[in-house]
Structure 1
Amino acid sequence: MNRTIRSRGSRRTVAAAAVGMAAVLLAAGCSSGSGGKKAQEDQNAATTGKATTARMKIAMVTHAPPGDTFWDIVRKGAQAAAAKDNVELVYSSDEKAADQANLIQNAIDQKVDGIAVTAAKPEAMKTVLAKAERAGIPVVGFNAGLDDWKDLGLQSYYGQDEKVAGEAFGNRLNEVGAKHTICVIQDQGHVALEARCAGVKKTFKGKAEILYVNGKDMPSVKSTIEAKLQQDTSIDYVATLGAPIALTAVQSAKDAGSKAKVATFDLNKELVDALKDGDVKFAVDQQPYLQGYLAVDGLWLYKNNGNFSGGGAEPVLTGPAFVDESNIDKIAAFAEKGTR
């Protein structure tokens, strides 16, 4: 079932791995050709994988809603890269597109050395990203905006092809014998979420419906899913687009007296037990830690070595990969420490 996805992803994985390797090599390169104490310090830094390059300031601006654990994982990855690369990381977020654009403008005003941005609603980003380009500030995209990153003038993109992920999800539903699924979108108009459900509907052979919920209000999410399951008892799978929504959907199904199973996109440490217990049947992991890490590391590499991840023409894909009871034990330790 996964071979095409994994084969395509493996080519992107090579690109992603090259980013990390180049970082170590560049640090080593910086240590050559100098003498004395400084040379030894540089050599020590290269050996430990830490950069000796000049201090940089990078702004990371996301559309993260308050309390969403997914973004904690993204931020940990970004912080790890910043610590390695001698980068001052300025992280900010706002789920409102207009306010996110204002945060990007703030970064431009601060004359940062680079910006990493999520473009969940690309139209709202166009004007301010053009300002960043005119100011000579390199910008990379990650997590959201795969179809728009080139049009927005971004140098590179790190993330999951949401359409491909959705199609793989739909195929997995076919394999487990699902007949009627609802795809729950917690933020209407969010391009990545809409693409996931569109992908599910494209390949799923049964009946697929979209259910919009208010992701800012988890009690409302629970009651909306519960009401839908009570209304239509033919629904046998609930597809959610985030781990917190998945765990809520599990409770909704129980309270509705429904036999519907739950599967989801994305992981967090709270989802581990649900996967082990079978309350959630499978999850699609897009590796958010890697997204945050590569976004910062990619800007550092561009600043210090002129590198473009993906050659500036192709995205670096970080997913999709399926996690279920067959492999959750291998991933659990990383999820528990908040890096998967």
Structure 2
Amino acid sequence: MKATRYSRLLKALTLVTLLAAGSAQAAERYVFISHAPDSDSWWSVVRNSLKGAAEDFKVSVDYRNPPTGDLADMARLIEQAAAQNYDGVVTTIADFNVLQGAIQKITDKHIPLITANSGTAEQSDKLGAIMHVGQEEYAAGFGAGERAKQDGVKSFVCVNHYATNPASFERCRGFGDALGVDFKTSTIDTGIDPAQIEAMTSAYLRRNPGTQAIFTLGPVSAQGALQAVKKMDLKGKIYFATMDLSNEISRGIKDGTIAFAVDQQPYLQGYIPIAIMAIMKQSGNTDLAAATAAFKANPVVKKRLEGYGLNPIYGPRNISSGPGFVTRDNIQKVERYSGQYR
């Protein structure tokens, strides 16, 4: 009798151990691969969003990026992800031509793919992605240019700190088109060193004293350009617009140096792709419309996004995270979560 009880207990314990091991092995693994160098602080919000998605959907999420922003390194990271057999991959489309071959290794293995941040919906579709989550670069630049034009701006310099990413030029082109200006003659390739950005911005403004506006593409270029404005005593004398947010940009908006920042809600760009793939995997239903509906109805998702004032724009296939505009009128609301959720 004792032997029978012991045998049953042993079997039960073995079953529990096997179930626990199976559960651990079954936990989904996802990876987000960006083009950003380590020096770009803007991506801290995306990384924070991946932690939120992992927590909400009980999955594991890795973040990978090329330390210097080298796109050949990024392509290798994508190839490595294919070899590691993740349950899903999210990647930016920093350069369609450079990354296309590496991304095909993902889709050839039938690993679910979602694109985010840079690139276009059309490129995403060509790559075989489920969907694209982000802000259309040209539209964001054009919207910023329209706003500047309404304020009387007719000329500008686009301070591009990441010219190795072709998508970055779409922001400059959009801004220029809205003003009716050739962006090629109004764009400087500064690199990511703040001192160099400051020096090159100052040099351009000295050579072109009639320049009415500065348009920066994010916190990296904004930092150096703001120093140029300060040292040249141009605060209030030159129109300043920027993409994205940081603590320094928020201060610039509040003190009147910066007219506005374009907010592409980066938290959504990390959180939504992981959530959508997790919903598909866990439900066993790969229909995008059903997954999107489940995402929108999920009370945990609602609480998280509404809690931080995040508002995705849902399309039939893709989800837009922006653009929105941050000005002195709404900066108090937005800066409360700047660097973490906005």
TM range (shorter): 0.7 to 0.9
**Aligned counterpart in structure 2 of residue 63 of structure 1, from 28, 35, 48:** 35
Confirm or deny: 8 A CA contact 1:269 1:338 kept in the other structure: no
Q: CA deviation at 1:223?
A: 0.4
Is 1:78 the counterpart of 2:81 in the alignment?
Answer: no
Q: What CA deviation, in whole Å up to 9, does each residue of 1:254-280 have, x standing for no partner?
A: 323443231101112332211111111
Alignment-derived partner of residue 73 in structure 2:
99
Higher mean C-alpha deviation, range 182-191 or range 262-271 = 182-191
Alignment-derived partner of residue 202 in structure 1:
177
**Aligned counterpart in structure 1 of residue 280 of structure 2, from 297, 302, 323:** 302
**Aligned counterpart in structure 1 of residue 269 of structure 2, from 277, 291, 312:** 291
Is 1:170 the counterpart of 2:162 in the alignment?
Answer: no
The higher relative CO (CA closer than 8 Å, separation ≥ 6) is in 1
Alignment-derived partner of residue 226 in structure 2:
250
Confirm or deny: 8 A CA contact 2:159 2:190 kept in the other structure: no
Q: CA RMSD in A?
A: 2.2
Q: CA deviation at 1:144?
A: 0.8
Is 1:133 the counterpart of 2:107 in the alignment?
Answer: yes
Q: Give 1:288's aligned amino acid.
A: P
Q: In structure 1, how many angstroms separate the alpha carbons of the residues matched to 2:204 and 2:261?
A: 22
Is 1:153 the counterpart of 2:128 in the alignment?
Answer: yes
Q: In structure 2, how many angstroms separate the alpha carbons of the residues matched to 1:90 and 1:189?
A: 24
Q: In structure 1, how many angstroms separate the alpha carbons of the residues matched to 2:202 and 2:169?
A: 22
Q: Give 1:125's aligned amino acid.
A: L
Confirm or deny: 8 A CA contact 1:174 1:205 kept in the other structure: no
Alignment-derived partner of residue 318 in structure 1:
321
**So what's the TM-score if we normalise by structure 2?**
0.79
**So what's the TM-score if we normalise by structure 1?**
0.79
Cα distance change on mapping 1:257 and 1:229 into 2, 3 Å: farther
Confirm or deny: 8 A CA contact 1:185 1:213 kept in the other structure: yes
Confirm or deny: 8 A CA contact 1:163 1:195 kept in the other structure: yes
Q: CA deviation at 1:236?
A: 1.5
Confirm or deny: 8 A CA contact 1:274 1:280 kept in the other structure: yes
Confirm or deny: 8 A CA contact 2:194 2:223 kept in the other structure: no
Confirm or deny: 8 A CA contact 1:145 1:191 kept in the other structure: no
Q: Give the aligned length.
A: 288
Q: Structure 2 stretches of 5 or more lacking a match?
A: 1-23, 294-314
Higher mean C-alpha deviation, range 312-321 or range 88-97 = 312-321
Q: CA deviation at 1:108?
A: 1.4
Task: Report the secondary structure of 2:199's partner residue.
Answer: helix
Task: Report the secondary structure of 1:116's partner residue.
Answer: strand
Q: Give 2:28's aligned amino acid.
A: M
Task: Report the secondary structure of 2:336's partner residue.
Answer: helix
Confirm or deny: 8 A CA contact 2:57 2:278 kept in the other structure: yes
Identical pairs, percent: 30
Alignment-derived partner of residue 5 in structure 1:
none
Q: CA deviation at 1:160?
A: 0.4
Task: Report the secondary structure of 2:186's partner residue.
Answer: strand
Alignment-derived partner of residue 113 in structure 1:
87
Q: CA deviation at 1:316?
A: 0.7
**Aligned counterpart in structure 2 of residue 225 of structure 1, from 191, 201, 210:** 201
Q: Give 1:220's aligned amino acid.
A: Q
Q: Structure 1 stretches of 5 or more lacking a match?
A: 1-51
Q: CA deviation at 1:247?
A: 2.8
Cα distance change on mapping 1:86 and 1:242 into 2, 3 Å: same
Is 1:265 the counterpart of 2:237 in the alignment?
Answer: no
Q: In structure 1, how many angstroms separate the alpha carbons of the residues matched to 2:277 and 2:288?
A: 9
Task: Report the secondary structure of 1:303's partner residue.
Answer: helix
Confirm or deny: 8 A CA contact 1:179 1:207 kept in the other structure: no
Confirm or deny: 8 A CA contact 2:88 2:113 kept in the other structure: yes
